[in-house]
Amino acid sequence: MPDVESTILTALSSGPDATIPDSFTFATTSNLDHNSIVGTCKSLQTDAYVTLTERSTQFYVLGKEAESIVKDGSQEIRVLSALIAAGTDGLGMPELQSSVGKDVCKIGMGNCLKNKWAKKDKASGKLIAAVTELPTDDVKEQLVALKSAASEEENTKCVDDKAAAALKRRKLISLITRKSYTISRGPSYAPQRVKKAADLTKEMLESGKWKDTQFKEYNFQTLGESVGGGYLHPLMKVRAEFRKILMEMGFEEMPTNKWVESSFWNFDSLFQPQSHPARDAHDTFFIKEPAETVSVPEEYYERVKNMHEKGGSGSIGYRTVFERKEAMKNLLRTHTTAVSSQMLYKLANQPGGFKPARYFSIDRVFRNESMDATHLCEFHQVEGLVADYNLSLGDLIGTVETFFHKIGIKRLRFKPAFNPYTEPSMEVFGYHPGLKKWTELGNSGMFRPEMLAPMGLPKDVRVIAWGLALERPTMIMYNINNIRTLFGHKVDMGMIKNAPICRFEADEEEEGGVAEEAKV
Ligand code: FB9
């Protein structure tokens, strides 16, 4: 097999305007594969040894049926010759089929009738020739002409468009467009390619060989190698933005690296009754092994038990038996509020006593819920809390507004709601300028004294808190409408790789929009 490169360069060695008119015919004549010719030409072109001009050639190729017509004549001519042979009685369908074959009969008969070469005798249903002489088999001739055309150019000219269209309609021929190139000498043409060095190497410098080495031009257009590296999942990009916003607002992040909590911290410390429906396995993932937590602060445990059973701090409690067994159960936390309760407990029992604090958490929580397009059995909860003296509902509304303003939600509505561990509680709704609709943003409330008093927090300390999830803002931000596209084993890594940066535009001038009446 001749070496493709030298074959091409030699073919252009005849003179400065030597060209190879059609790379395809050149491949045929030099018995080389056209693709390898094109491949080599492309690389010769990058070194400017040749110049390529794309050209496309169109020509008809015959299909299988056409080949059989070229061999045995068109169906209609074969049928007609059978009919003519049958004379005036003509032929019934079965005889005709047996004489020329089923397919030929079907197509042939149709065209005979169309060309008025035959007619159907109503009475007998037989087909009778309407001509005595066999006309020329134009179809066969046209196909033969196409097949034996000397060149592609010749091929497309040997039948007129009308005939070609008819043959195409009969799916006897199809028009092929072949791409090839006219090859001519390039500015750095030479009969032999000198491999240009791509890099200046230490050896070249030491040997001085660089002086007579041809170097490849730098192609500053080429895209650099795509650098790999890590990609933050869109959820983590939104988390990073929320973190930044909450730290700007003076909040400190709570440690949320422990996904397994005890029922005590996840529910009991929040004064959520042990009979609360969320506490059964339909809603919560309980841990089989280790099924029970190791320990809880005993004195605090007693105070929580008392508050549930008998109340206190102005509350009558739940007057139900408080089961230690229930409290000690391990589970996958259902909310990061389980971490808030532990942080508030530490705040109340730290050396030097309580000091006002602002905490936030953003991490996974787990709920044994039925999964649908927007719900999985886990999501990333965002929670913020402020613990300080004499905080009011206004402080809560103001804080929540400040937060949502910073993620671009200006108009908020607060709707009274119920949470086992906050009273009063409010659902938060916001008008999303992009979605042009009110959307539920989350929940909020003042932690109940039944939760705070047993911790030992000073009487006039109030704790306001609110919560939302990362998933909805991320789906809105990245225009994702199915949670499985965003999270889980079906996620396409491309989406993560190409997910743009997350930036919440909080345009200043509009700062301090008022909370509107909750007309939700
Ligand atoms: O995230 C939610 N919605 C949301 C949030 C932001 C957002 O931003 C747009 C770009 C601008 C868009 C939408 N929700 C909370 C509301 C709904 O999606 C809701 O259907 C689903 N909720 C989850 C719980 O589902 C059972 C989101 C999750 C949620 C709800 C409440 C809390 C936390 C997460 C809470 C709380 C709380 C209350 C009081 C004290 C402490 C914590």
Reply yes or no on whether the pLDDT at 508 is more than 70. no
Identify which has the larger pLDDT, 228 or 139.
139
**How many whole angstroms separate alpha carbon 235 and alpha carbon 399?**
23
Quote the ligand 1 centre to 380 CA distance (angstroms).
10
Ligand 1, atom 8, lies closest to the CA of: 473
Q: Which of 256, 218, 192 is nearest to 6 (CA)?
A: 192
Single-letter code of the amino acid located at 490: K
Reply yes or no on whether the pLDDT at 1 is more than 70. no
Ligand 1, atom 7, lies closest to the CA of: 473
Ligand 1, atom 3, lies closest to the CA of: 441
Identify which has the larger pLDDT, 371 or 303.
303
Of ligand 1's listed atoms, the one at least distance from the Cα of 335 is: 33
**How high is the pLDDT of residue 434?**
87
CA distances, 349 to each of 22, 319, 462, 488, 503 (Å):
89, 27, 16, 40, 39
**How many whole angstroms separate alpha carbon 74 and alpha carbon 70?**
8
Quote the ligand 1 centre to 295 CA distance (angstroms).
32
**pLDDT tens digits, one per residue of 80-113:** 999 999 998 889 999 999 999 999 999 999 999 9
Predicted confidence band of residue 520 (pLDDT cuts 50, 70, 90): very low
DSSP element (H, E) containing 454: none
Quote the ligand 1 centre to 304 CA distance (angstroms).
28
**How many whole angstroms separate alpha carbon 217 and alpha carbon 171?**
51
Reply yes or no on whether the pLDDT at 347 is more than 80. yes
Reply yes or no on whether the pLDDT at 515 is more than 70. no
Reply yes or no on whether the pLDDT at 2 is more than 70. no
Reply yes or no on whether the pLDDT at 388 is more than 90. yes
Quote the ligand 1 centre to 472 CA distance (angstroms).
8
pTM of the model: 0.65
288 burial (CB, 10 Å; 0-12 / 13-18 / 19+) is exposed
Predicted confidence band of residue 490 (pLDDT cuts 50, 70, 90): confident
Beta strands across the sheet bearing 412-419: 252-253, 357-366, 378-389, 461-469, 437-447, 422-432, 412-419
Ligand 1, atom 11, lies closest to the CA of: 473
**How high is the pLDDT of residue 391?**
98
**pLDDT tens digits, one per residue of 115-166:** 999 999 988 889 999 999 999 999 999 999 999 988 887 888 888 999 999 9
Q: Which of 425, 443, 470, 505 to mutate to test the pocket of ligand 1 (most atoms within 8 A of CB)?
A: 443
Report the 10 Å Cβ neighbour count for 55: 14
Mean pLDDT of 28-55: 92
**How many whole angstroms separate alpha carbon 266 and alpha carbon 261?**
6
Q: Go through the domains of the chain in sequence order and give each one's CATH number.
A: 235-519 (3.30.930.10)
Quote the ligand 1 centre to 442 CA distance (angstroms).
3
Transcribe 387-445 into DSSP letters.
EEET--HHHHHHHHHHHHHHTT---EEEEEEEETTEEEEEEEEEEETTTTEEEEEEEEE
Reply yes or no on whether the pLDDT at 292 is more than 70. yes
Which residues does a 6 A CB cutoff place in the pocket of ligand 1? 337, 381, 383, 407-409, 419, 422, 432, 439-445, 465-469, 472-473, 476
Say if CB 321 and CB 309 are below 8 A apart. Answer: yes
**pLDDT tens digits, one per residue of 229-270:** 889 999 999 999 999 999 999 999 999 999 999 999 999 999
